Structure 1
Amino acid sequence: MKIRGDDPVAMKNFILCVQNRVNELKALSGDGEAKINGKRMEFMLETICDIKNNKKKPKEDTVQHTRIKKWLQKLRVEDILIRGLKWSKLLDPDKKGQWWLPGDIASATDNVEEVANSIDKEALEAQKMLDLAAAQRMNTDARRAIFCVIMSGEDYIDAFEKLLRLDLPGKQDRDIMRVLVECCLQEKVFNKYYTVLAAKLCEHEKNHKFTLQYCLWDHFKELDSMPLLRSMHLAKFMAEMVASFTLSLAVLKTVEWSDPQMLSPKKIMHFRMLFEAIFEYPDKVIWNMFTRIAVTPELETLRQGMEFFIKEYVVKTNKKVNDKFKLAKKALNNTEGVLM
C-alpha cells in the first residue's frame, strides 16, 4: 500500500507483471499449476489483488517514522553524504560495540585506556572550541553551537548538514549567517570556505539570503571604525557572494554614493577593494554581475552612483581595471538583460 501511495505507476506495472506471470503458469500443465496452487502463492496473489482493488488499508507511519521522513525532506536527502562509515567497517565480521559511529574508536580497539584517552582528547578539543567561541563574543547557546559547527566542520557540506541538524527554534536560525560572517572577518587570511558555505545555505533556504543582506548592511554602518584587515575580508566576501550570484550588486543600494560627506576615507577604501576584487573575475562573470542590476528601473540611482564611484576612486588609482570598467559600464546599460 505504501508503494501504491508513493508511486502508483510502479505499483501498477508490478501488478501487471505478476498477473502476466500467473497467466503464463496457468497456461502450463503440471508444474505450472502446482506452483500457483500453493498456500503461500495463493495468499500472495490474494494480497496483491486486494492492493489492486484498494481493499487493503495502509498502516499509518509511527510518530518517529514521520519525524524522520520530515527531517530527511527538509535536509534534501539527495545532498546527504554518509560520513565515517566505510565498507570495510560494515563488512568486518569482528566488529564490536557501536561500530556504526564515525571514527575507528569503537571497532578498532579493545583497549579501554586508549578509548578513554581518545574521549578525553575529544572533550579537550570541544572545550577549546567553546573557549574560542567565548573569545569571539558568541554570547548565547545558539551562537556558540553555530560557531562550533562552522569551525569544526570537515568541509562545507559537513558543516551545512550539521547546521541543519541544529534545528534552531524561532528566529535563532538568523544567527547562522551572522556568526558565519563574523568567523570570516576574524580570520587572519581570507578563507573561501565561508563563502561556499554561505552560498550553500542561501541556496537551501532563501531566508538566509535576506539575513545575509541585513548583516552586510549592518557591517556597512561600522566601516568607519572597522580595522583594515576586517574590511578587506568583508570586501572579498561580498565579491564572492556576488560573483556566485548568491547576492546581486543591489545589496549596495543602501550606500550613499553621491554624498561626499557620507563617503569617508575608510568607506572609499572598502568599496574600492570590493570593486577591485570584482574586476579580478573573468569578463563573462563581470558582465553578468552588472547586467543583473541593469534591468531594474528602481536601481537607476545605484547604477549611476556605482559608475561615478568606480570612475573616480577605482580607475584613477588603478589603470589596470580600465578595460574591466568599460565592460561593466556597458553591462549597466544592458537594459535587455542579455547574459553572456
Structure 2
Amino acid sequence: FLGKSHSHGATKYVPPQVRKAQEALDDKKREELGRLKKMVNGLINRLSEPNLSSISGQLEELYMANSRKDMNETLTDILMNACVTAVAMPARLMMEHVLLVSVLHHTVGIEVGAHFLEAVVKKFDELYKSDAEGKECENLFALVAHLYNFHVVHSLLIFDILKKLVSTFTEKDIELILFLLKSVGFSLRKDDPLALKELISEAQSKANTVEKKLQDQTRVRFMLETMLALRNNDMRKIPGYDPEPVEKLRKLQRTLVHNSGSGKETQLRVSLESLLNADKVGRWWIVGSSWSGAPMIDGTNSKTQQKLRIGKVSSKIMELARKQRMNTDIRRGIFCVLMTSEDFLDAFEKLLKLGLKDQQEREIVHVILYCCLQEKTYNPFYAFLASKFCAYERRFQMTFQFSIWDKIRDLGNQTTTAISNLVSLLAHLLRTKSLPLSILKVIEFSELDKPNVRFLRQVLSMLLIKTDAEDLSDIFGRISENPKLGMLREGLKLFLTHFLLKNVQAHKSGEEASLLKERAELASKALQAKESRPKL
C-alpha cells in the first residue's frame, strides 16, 4: 500500500469539492461563450450597409459587457467562417464585413483590427503553403485589401505580401498579384509611389528570368501592363476597375467614426514577418498585449557583433561617451550620432541608418532620454527628435512611454535638473500629441507624494500655458472617450482644481495666473465632455 501511494505521489491531489467547482466554472464559461457566439452570429447575419451603424453600436456594447479576448476570438471566428469559403465571395459582402471591423477598430480599440488581421494573415500563409484548390486565398486577399482600404493596416503589409509573391512568381502568384493590384493598386500609388516603382521593376526583371518556365505568357504580360497602368495613373487600362463602392463605404466609415481618432494614427504599421512570428516575438503593435516567451534571443550574439556604421569620431566624443557610461558599442554609436548631428532631422536619419534591430533599436530611446536628463539646461533638440521617432513608428512611441513611466516612478532619486528636463520633454511630447495624456495614468492620484505633486504641477502648467485652446481640448478630450481611464480623468480634474489652481496667484504673475485658470477650466470641460453627452 505504501509503495503504491509513493508511485502516485507525482500527481497533485485535488479535493472533490475543488474539482467540482472547477468543472462548474468551465461549464459556466462554455455556456457564456456559446450565448455570446449566438448573439454575435445573429448580428453578423443581419449585417448590411443600412444597419451597419446599429450593429456596430450593439457590438460595442457587447465589448463593454464581455472580456475583450472572448469578443475578439468570437468575432474573428464568425467573420472568418462567413468570408473565407471555397467559392469567391461577393465583393460587397466582403467590404461590409471589413468596414464593421474597421469601425470597431476605431471605436473600441486597435486590438480588434489587430486580432482579425493576424488571423487572416496566418490563415492565408497556411493555405498558400498547402496549395489549396478553392478560392480561399482570393477571399483572404480581399479581406487584407479592404483592411487597407478602410485604414486598419498600413501599406507596408501589402507591399510585403506583393514582394513575397513576386519572389516566388508562379502562375498562382501572378493571379494573386493581379487581384491585389486591381483592388488597392491606385491607393498604393498614392501612399507610397516609390515602393510601388521598386515593386514594378522587380516584377519586370523576374518576368524576364522565368519567361520560358511559365505556360501562360498572356497573364504575365497582362500583369505587367496593369502595373504600368498603375505607374502612369491610367485607370482605363484596368478592366472592371470601379473605385465607387469603396469610396461610398469610406464616406459611411467617416460618419461612423468621426468622434474617434480615425485615420492614420490607428493604422497598424506592421510587417508580414512580424504578424507570422507574433507568438515568438510578441505583439508590439498592440498596447499592453500580454506575452510570455524569450524576447528575440535567437542569434543575438551575431547581431551584437555587427559593426555600427558611424564613421570617424573624434577621441573627445569617445571619451565623453565613456564618461557618460555608454558601455556597449550600440550605445556609444547612438551617443556619437546624437553629439555630432547638425540638427534633429540629421540625427533621425543617421540613427535609422545604423540599421539596429529588435531590442537594439530600443537603445535609441534609452540614450535619447538619458542624454536629455543629463543636460545642465534643457535642450529642445531631444524633444524634437523624440517627437520624430514617435511619429515614425508606433513601437518607438511605446518604448518612450515605458521609459518615461520608469523615470516617473523613480522621481525621488532624480536630481532637480533631471526632473526639470523631464518635465519640459514630457510637456513637449504631450503638446505635439506624440504621446497621449493617458501616459499620466502611472501616477497614483490617491497616494501623491511631494515629488509627484511638484512634477505633475509643472507638467500641467507648462502644457496648459504653451498649448493652443483648440489643441488643448483635443489632448484632454481624447481621454474622456475611453471608459478605462475613469480614474485618471477624476484624478486630473481633482488635481487641476485643488493642486494646480490653489495659491496660483502667489507663484505666477496676474496675467499668467488668469490664463492658467482659464485653460484649466477648458481642460476640465474637455475631460467630462464625453461623460456628460447623452446617449441616444
- Which TM-score bucket, shorter chain as reference? 0.5 to 0.7
Residue 294 of structure 1: aligned partner = 480
Deviation at 1:246, TM superposition (A): 0.7
Which amino acid in 2 is paired with 1:335? K
Equivalent position to 2:489, from 297, 303, 307: 303
Q: Does 1:208 align with 2:396?
A: yes
Residues 201, 5 of structure 1: CA spacing in aligned structure 2 closer, same or farther, 3 A cutoff? farther
Residue 8 of structure 1: aligned partner = 228
Equivalent position to 2:373, from 180, 185, 190: 185
* 3-state SS of paired residue (1:303): helix
Gaps of 5+ in 2: 1-220, 235-310, 506-514
Counterpart contact for 1:146–1:176, Cα < 8 Å: yes
Counterpart contact for 2:419–2:455, Cα < 8 Å: yes
Deviation at 1:192, TM superposition (A): 1.5
CA distance in 2, matches of 1:326, 1:178: 36
Residues 155, 317 of structure 1: CA spacing in aligned structure 2 closer, same or farther, 3 A cutoff? same
Query: So what's the TM-score if we normalise by structure 1?
Result: 0.62
For each residue in 1:147-180, what CA deviation from the matched residue of structure 2 results, as whole angstroms up to 9, or x when unmatched? 1111211111111111111111331100111111
Residue 318 of structure 1: aligned partner = 504
* 3-state SS of paired residue (2:438): helix
CA distance in 1, matches of 2:532, 2:315: 52
Alpha-carbon RMSD: 2.8
CA distance in 1, matches of 2:410, 2:380: 22
Gaps of 5+ in 1: 15-122
Residue 93 of structure 2: aligned partner = none
Which amino acid in 2 is paired with 1:149? V
For each residue in 1:202-258, what CA deviation from the matched residue of structure 2 results, as whole angstroms up to 9, or x when unmatched? 111111011001000100121012111110110111111011011111001111011
Residue 170 of structure 1: aligned partner = 358
CA distance in 2, matches of 1:6, 1:278: 51
> After alignment, is 303-312 or 217-226 more displaced?
303-312
Deviation at 1:129, TM superposition (A): 1.2
CA distance in 2, matches of 1:131, 1:273: 35
Residue 450 of structure 2: aligned partner = 265
Counterpart contact for 1:224–1:264, Cα < 8 Å: no
Runs of 4+ aligned structure 1 residues displaced above 6 Å come to: 10-14
For each residue in 1:79-123, what CA deviation from the matched residue of structure 2 results, as whole angstroms up to 9, or x when unmatched? xxxxxxxxxxxxxxxxxxxxxxxxxxxxxxxxxxxxxxxxxxxx9
Deviation at 1:13, TM superposition (A): 9.5
Residues 12, 181 of structure 1: CA spacing in aligned structure 2 closer, same or farther, 3 A cutoff? closer
Residue 530 of structure 2: aligned partner = 335
Residue 284 of structure 2: aligned partner = none
* 3-state SS of paired residue (1:137): coil
Counterpart contact for 2:326–2:332, Cα < 8 Å: yes
CA distance in 2, matches of 1:300, 1:196: 31
Counterpart contact for 2:431–2:467, Cα < 8 Å: no
> After alignment, is 313-322 or 164-173 more displaced?
313-322
Deviation at 1:318, TM superposition (A): 1.6
Deviation at 1:272, TM superposition (A): 1.1
Counterpart contact for 1:283–1:324, Cα < 8 Å: no
Counterpart contact for 1:295–1:337, Cα < 8 Å: no
Residue 235 of structure 1: aligned partner = 423
Deviation at 1:124, TM superposition (A): 9.1
Residue 118 of structure 1: aligned partner = none
Alignment of 1:81-230 (within 5 A): 126-230=314-418
Query: So what's the TM-score if we normalise by structure 2?
Result: 0.40
Residue 120 of structure 2: aligned partner = none
For each residue in 1:279-309, what CA deviation from the matched residue of structure 2 results, as whole angstroms up to 9, or x when unmatched? 1124422211111111111101001111212
CA distance in 2, matches of 1:283, 1:238: 17
Number of paired residues?
228
* 3-state SS of paired residue (1:173): helix
Counterpart contact for 2:477–2:526, Cα < 8 Å: yes
Residues 192, 6 of structure 1: CA spacing in aligned structure 2 closer, same or farther, 3 A cutoff? farther
Counterpart contact for 2:390–2:435, Cα < 8 Å: no
CA distance in 2, matches of 1:12, 1:311: 59
Residues 203, 12 of structure 1: CA spacing in aligned structure 2 closer, same or farther, 3 A cutoff? closer
Deviation at 1:7, TM superposition (A): 4.1
CA distance in 2, matches of 1:13, 1:286: 41
Counterpart contact for 2:313–2:336, Cα < 8 Å: no
* 3-state SS of paired residue (1:138): coil
Residues 222, 8 of structure 1: CA spacing in aligned structure 2 closer, same or farther, 3 A cutoff? same
Alignment of 1:4-43 (within 5 A): 4=224, 7-9=227-229
For each residue in 1:112-152, what CA deviation from the matched residue of structure 2 results, as whole angstroms up to 9, or x when unmatched? xxxxxxxxxxx996221121112122111111111111121
Q: Which has the larger radius of gyration?
A: 1
